[in-house]
A and B are shown apart, each in its own frame.
Chain A
Amino acid sequence: MSEDKEILLEKVLELERAKDLHEDLAADNTARILNEKRRLSSPMSEEEARKKMTGRSRRGFLVGAAAALTGIFGWRWMSDETKQSLLRRTFEFNEKVAQVFYRPTRLSPEFPPEQISLPPRVNGFAGMSEGFDPASWTLSVGGLANRSDDLVLTLDQIKALPRTEMTTELKCVEGWTIIVSWAGVRFSDFAAAYLPKTIDGSLPDIVNHPENLVPYVSMVTPDQAYYVGWDMPSILHPQTLLAYEINGQPLPLEHGAPLRLASPTKYGIKQIKRIGRIEFTADRPKDYWAEQGYDWYSGH
């Protein structure tokens, strides 16, 4: 009788197994459809399996803990100076990568006039000190080819250069954007009229050989409280303007009268208002926000 029961039990188990096998092989098993394979060891006793697993666990958890602690304490042991220098060097590395892929022919999208954000948001007051009179303003330009002293220009002399208009998106490093219509002189037109010096003293050719020009431009407010540095390719981009109008009006004081930079090639922090002096230079110029830990390049 008990033998019969055992045979019966065996039969039931066998049927169960067959059913399981059937289900594993069923057409509605994604693993089966994609031919996913299992990787199994040869069978062993439970004790042996447990022993092998314990060894693997010990190794796995020790290596994992060591890696985690190295990561956490490695980051913590790094001094603030080391961390800051690592992050600054990463910005510089990112800048080099960006310059490899940079093409001056790529343009920022322009927008129809009805999309202009009114009124334009005012932000940033460094360099905008009180008591400034735009009527008596002049622009100093240094680092020109053929002369060692500054050239002094009036607003009328700048307005005499070809006028360019654009309606582009101004992107603040904080994360907000506004659409603004600008009018002014392309910086590249300005540089064609007032030629920058070259690295080797040869004749400047900004159209065919911009790489011979000194690589940087420094711009400072009249009170020297705000200052930005630009790389030559970005400043010669066709959408970088020395702007004197915003949304069809002469620049008001809070937007940088009488002359400011406007360009979708970089964040707003680089688009200096109330420019007092421009200098073409071989040395990387200091930059107000880069000194506070922001990306010097900040290029789009």
Chain B
Amino acid sequence: MEKQLEKKHPLAIRWLHWVNFPLLAMMIWSGLLIYWANAVYGIRIFGYELFHFFPPWFYEISKVDFWGYKIPDYLPAWSYEWSNIPFRLAEGISLHFFFMWLFAINGIIYVLYTIFSGEWRAIVPVPGSFKRAILVTLHDLHIVKKLPPQGKYNDAQRIAYTSVILMGAGSVITGLAIYKPLQLAWLASLMGGYEWARWMHFWLTIFFVLFFVVHVVQVIIAGWSNFRSMITGYDIVDADKPQIEHAEVKA
């Protein structure tokens, strides 16, 4: 059967995507060091705390013994620190206020590139996307057999990817309100004040982590050639499939 190479991800998108991964990881890790200086958030219903950030098991993970080996034996050295939370607020702040520049600049370049290259057409949802995203979810849960028609991404992906970009913007904006609550008092007051800006900043982080978990699971399910396309930019597709209008690329 005849094949075609399809260019799926431009070079810029691939670099911006992969560079964002360690940057976001550093923002979350340094954010945790800051949070641990005053760990107050939890999920409360009628004054009863269902879940506290973070519960004791979060720190116990690194102590679990597997036939003489502990989880941190397989992980970087810092994972040991989970079991014995150090008071490292100064380090957390200095790392956070260094990597914030790189995280924000990387994000801004990504958004600008997406707009000017036309890549936004593959990522943004339209009003009908919400209905189709439900069908995609039902398909992923093996409840319905057929996937709705799609381009590079299905409608659930469009909503997820657009949301995570908006979350990134939200983290930068709430972060600015916490960083300069006097000079940007108008921004903090838009969020209901400094305390609420801080609360939103924290919850956005939790949702980044949830996005990351779902993203990795979906990438594993989608398989190797999909993952490879995020590294090389290309994927192999069947040539005899009817094609909608397309641009020729050199392979």
Q: Which chain A residues have a beta carbon within 8 Å of chain B's beta carbons?
A: 17-18, 20-21, 23-26, 28-46, 48-50, 52-53, 56-57, 59-61, 64, 67, 71, 86-88, 90-91, 94, 98, 101-103, 106-109, 169, 171-177, 239, 264-265, 289, 292-295, 299-300
B139 in the interface (beta carbon within 8 A):
no
Contact A24 B37 (CB under 8 A): no
With a cutoff of 8 Å between Cβ atoms, the chain B residues found around residue A87 in the complex are 94-95, 98
Report the nearest A residue to B183, measured CB to CB.
Answer: A106
Contact B150 A177 (CB under 8 A): no
Contact A36 B151 (CB under 8 A): yes
Contact B37 A175 (CB under 8 A): yes
**A49 with B249, Cβ < 8 A, contacts A24-B244, A38-B243, A107-B185 known:** no
Contact A175 B35 (CB under 8 A): yes
Apart from the given pairs A21-B242, A37-B118, A40-B5, 6 other A-B contacts in the complex at a CB distance below 8 Å: A28-B149, A30-B125, A31-B151, A41-B249, A44-B5, A90-B98
Distance of B73 from chain A, by nearest CB (Å): 18
Contact B158 A108 (CB under 8 A): no
Cross-chain pairs A/B with CB under 8 angstroms, 14 sampled: A31-B122, A41-B7, A41-B249, A44-B4, A56-B232, A57-B231, A59-B232, A60-B233, A67-B18, A87-B95, A98-B180, A106-B182, A108-B181, A239-B182
**A295 with B158, Cβ < 8 A, contacts A36-B122, A40-B5, A177-B194 known:** no
B89 in the interface (beta carbon within 8 A):
yes
Rounded to whole angstroms, the CA-CA distance of A18 and B150 in the bound complex is 17
Contact B241 A20 (CB under 8 A): yes
Contact A34 B194 (CB under 8 A): no
Interface segment, B48-56, B126-134, B212-220? Answer: B126-134
Contact B7 A108 (CB under 8 A): no
With a cutoff of 8 Å between Cβ atoms, the chain B residues found around residue A90 in the complex are 94, 97-98, 101
Distance of B103 from chain A, by nearest CB (Å): 13
**Which bracket fits the contact residues of B?**
35 or more
Within residues 25 to 51 of chain B, which ones have a CB less than 8 A from any CB in chain A?
34-35, 37-38, 40
Contact A94 B97 (CB under 8 A): yes
Chain B 181-198 interface 0/1 with A at a Cβ cutoff of 8 Å (1 = within): 111010001000111001
Rounded to whole angstroms, the CA-CA distance of A42 and B155 in the bound complex is 28
Rounded to whole angstroms, the CA-CA distance of A171 and B181 in the bound complex is 10
Rounded to whole angstroms, the CA-CA distance of A91 and B95 in the bound complex is 10
Report the nearest A residue to B22, measured CB to CB.
Answer: A71
Contact B239 A43 (CB under 8 A): yes
B247 in the interface (beta carbon within 8 A):
yes
Report the nearest B residue to A175, measured CB to CB.
Answer: B38
Distance of A92 from chain B, by nearest CB (Å): 11
Task: Report, nearest first, the 8 A-B pairs whose CB atoms are least far apart.
Answer: A31-B151, A41-B251, A293-B90, A175-B38, A49-B3, A60-B232, A43-B239, A29-B149
B248 in the interface (beta carbon within 8 A):
yes
Contact A45 B3 (CB under 8 A): yes
User: For A39, A46, A49, A61, which residue has the most chain B Cβ atoms within 10 angstroms?
Assistant: A39
Contact of A25 among B18, B244, B247 (CB under 8 A): B244
With a cutoff of 8 Å between Cβ atoms, the chain A residues found around residue B246 in the complex are 37-40
Within residues 55 to 112 of chain B, which ones have a CB less than 8 A from any CB in chain A?
89-91, 93-95, 97-98, 101
Within residues 1 to 27 of chain B, which ones have a CB less than 8 A from any CB in chain A?
1-7, 18, 22
With a cutoff of 8 Å between Cβ atoms, the chain B residues found around residue A292 in the complex are 90
Distance of B237 from chain A, by nearest CB (Å): 7
Rounded to whole angstroms, the CA-CA distance of A62 and B248 in the bound complex is 27
Report the nearest A residue to B250, measured CB to CB.
Answer: A41
Contact B98 A86 (CB under 8 A): yes
User: For A42, A88, A175, A289, which residue has the most chain B Cβ atoms within 10 angstroms?
Assistant: A175
